Amino acid sequence: MKRWRAWALMALITLLSACVDTGVPLETVVAQGNEYMAAYQAWDKEKMASFYSPRMFTRMPEEAWWEMLEEKRRQLGALKSYSLMGKSKDTRFSGIFYILQYKTVYEHGDAREVITFIEPVDEDSLKIFAHSIQIRRLRQTSD
C-alpha cells in the first residue's frame, strides 16, 4: 500500500509540474512569427533561415525544404498578404510547441500556413520546428 501511495504522489507531482505555465509568452512568439512571415514575404532567404531550428531538418533535408518552398512559390507567385488566424501553445516532454496559423494570399492563389515554433527543454532557444503550406485555391493566370 505504501508503494502505491508513493507512486501516486510521484505521478501527481509530475502532472502538476507539466501544468505549470512556463516558457515564452505567446504574444512574443506571435511577434517572432510575424517577423518570419515578413522575411518570407520579402523572400529574404538568409533571414528566413535564421528562424529555423536544426530539428526542422530531421524529417526533410534542408536542401529539399528550399526546393519545396521554391516550387510553392512558382505555383502561388509572390506572397501579397498574411494574417494570423489562430495561435496555441502545447507543452510536451520534449519542450513547448507554439502553433501559429496564418491565412495567406498570393498572386495566384490562397493558402493556409501553419508555423510551429519549439522551445526545447534542453535548450534556451525558440526556433521554427515546422512550416506547412496548404494551398486552398489557385487562380487562373492569363499568359
What distance in Å separates the CA atoms of residue 123 and residue 138, rounded to the nearest whole number? 40
Q: Using an 8 Å Cβ cutoff, are 62 and 70 in contact? A: no
| R_g (Cα) of the chain, nearest Å | 19
Query: Which pLDDT score is estimated for 130?
Result: 96
Q: How confident is the model at residue 123 (pLDDT cuts 50, 70, 90)?
A: confident
Percent of the chain at pLDDT above 70? 83
Rounded to the nearest integer, the mean pLDDT of the chain is 87
Q: DSSP state, 42?
A: T
Query: Which pLDDT score is estimated for 86?
Result: 97
What are the strands of the beta sheet with 95-106, ordered from one edge? 79-92, 95-106, 109-120, 127-138
Amino acid found at 139:
R
Query: Which pLDDT score is estimated for 110?
Result: 95
Residues 29-52: pLDDT tens digits? 999 999 999 999 999 999 999 999
Query: Which pLDDT score is estimated for 4?
Result: 61
Query: Which pLDDT score is estimated for 16?
Result: 46
What is the residue whose three cell numbers read 502561388?
Answer: 76
